[in-house]
Amino acid sequence: MKSIATKVFILILSLYSIEVFSSERAFERYAAIYHEKLMLEKFEELENDAIEARDKRTTISDGQPLLAAIYGGVSGCQSLNCNFPKSLAEWQEKELKLKKWIEKYPDSITAQVGHAGYYIQLGWFHRGRGYANTVSKKSWVLFKENLEIAKTLLEGHSEKTKNDAGWNFAMVAIALYQGWPEPKFDELYEKAVSLHPTYIPVYFLKASYMAPKWHGSLEQFNLYVDNVVQNTKPTLGHQMYARLHWSSSGRNLFRSGRTDWNRMKNGFEELIANYPDLRNINNFAKFSCLAGDTQKLSELLGIIGENVLASAWFNNEEFYNSCVKATQKS
């Protein structure tokens, strides 16, 4: 007979695998809304929402910028594990909508950057999210071709558009995916964070660049995280330590000595104090389990109750149950 915890885990997993609109990730939920607005040609709403998000630096429930989610919706967000569009025909239809938007609002920063970003994400659609050695030669060609189209579009934009957070994110993303030399990559990155110091997605891009599996090393990654935390402390506190280690985490991040649990816990405490999103809390609990902090784990499981988000626990029922049992032993 299944335990209550197991039943809850399976229930939440099934609920959140139905469609993107019921995603566990706030980013995906918001992006889906703006994808839908684009496909329904609600261009005026898109313009107004983007302008307000840009001017007010609005955030969504997990603390990410709303503007980033808008771009995720209008461009597509394959590289961020979103599930739309799902076919080449849907991608082609999406581009037609973007072109209609630009025709109606030729000076729209959001429409122009969204169109360029579309090609980045279309490239990822062709490439897929598997390991490099699993990608076919044809898929690599399509990936690279679409990145070049995006780059050409972005470089042709006005200076005003080039100051937009989404434009800067897109260019840094291209530099990462094309493997630019570090000095050229850093030139783009430094401009982006100078103009938009609280646009969190840009920091994730350089974290990937500095990671051992891309162009850096463990030492470079840790030094980068420390610099980000120091530079963003006035506006973001200590949460970037938690966010950046979370963004490139595995099960051995504490055993390997890569991550300081006390610093990560401190960052998560600040994060959920400001953004008590269920995904933030579930992941905080998961990392508490990995760190062996059963006291914090027990506290967080009490907050989560039945609101267990499967993806936060590696979509692994056995792992989740082992964490629950760990609190019962302590």
pLDDT tens digits for 25-71? 899 999 999 999 999 999 999 999 999 999 999 999 999 999 999 99
Bond into 212 cis (ω within 30): no
How do the pLDDT tens digits run along the chain, 330 residues long? 334 333 334 333 333 333 333 468 899 999 999 999 999 999 999 999 999 999 999 999 999 999 999 999 999 987 776 777 889 999 999 999 999 999 999 999 999 999 999 999 999 999 998 888 999 999 999 999 999 999 999 999 999 999 999 999 999 999 999 999 999 999 999 999 999 999 999 999 999 999 888 888 889 999 999 999 999 999 999 999 999 999 987 788 898 778 999 999 999 999 999 999 999 999 999 999 999 999 999 999 999 999 999 999 999 999 999 999 999 986
Residue 211 maps to a domain: no
Whether 121 and 251 map to the same domain: the answer is: no
Residue 263 maps to a domain: yes
Whether 58 and 2 map to the same domain: the answer is: no
**At 108, which CATH number?**
1.25.40
Whether 166 and 222 map to the same domain: the answer is: no
Q: Which domain holds residue 264?
A: 1-14+217-330
Whether 135 and 38 map to the same domain: the answer is: yes
Cα 120 to the center of its chain, rounded Å: 15
Whether 271 and 301 map to the same domain: the answer is: yes
Nearest to 207 by CA among 170, 249, 144: 249
Residue 143 maps to a domain: yes
Nearest to 327 by CA among 303, 287, 293: 293
Whether 287 and 146 map to the same domain: the answer is: no
Rg value, the chain, Cα? 20
Whether 180 and 73 map to the same domain: the answer is: yes
Of the residues 203, 226, 253, which one is the last residue of a structural domain?
Answer: 203
How confident is the model over 142-160, as pLDDT tens digits?
999 999 999 999 999 999 9
Output b/e per residue, 202-220; b: 16+ Cβ within 10 A.
bbbbbbbbbbeeebbeeee
Of the residues 176, 203, 230, which one is the last residue of a structural domain?
Answer: 203
Whether 8 and 25 map to the same domain: the answer is: no
Of the residues 177, 203, 229, which one is the last residue of a structural domain?
Answer: 203
- 3-state class (DSSP) for residue 54: helix
The number of domains in the chain is: 2
Whether 145 and 21 map to the same domain: the answer is: yes
Q: Are 69 and 130 in contact (CB under 8 A)?
A: no
Residue 182 maps to a domain: yes
C-alpha–C-alpha distance, residues 171 and 113, integer Å:
10
Whether 167 and 225 map to the same domain: the answer is: no
What residues are paired with 173 via a beta bridge?
A: none
Residue 101 maps to a domain: yes
Whether 72 and 175 map to the same domain: the answer is: yes
Whether 188 and 225 map to the same domain: the answer is: no
Residue 186 maps to a domain: yes
In the chain, where do the E strands start and end? none
Residue 73 maps to a domain: yes
Residue 210 maps to a domain: no
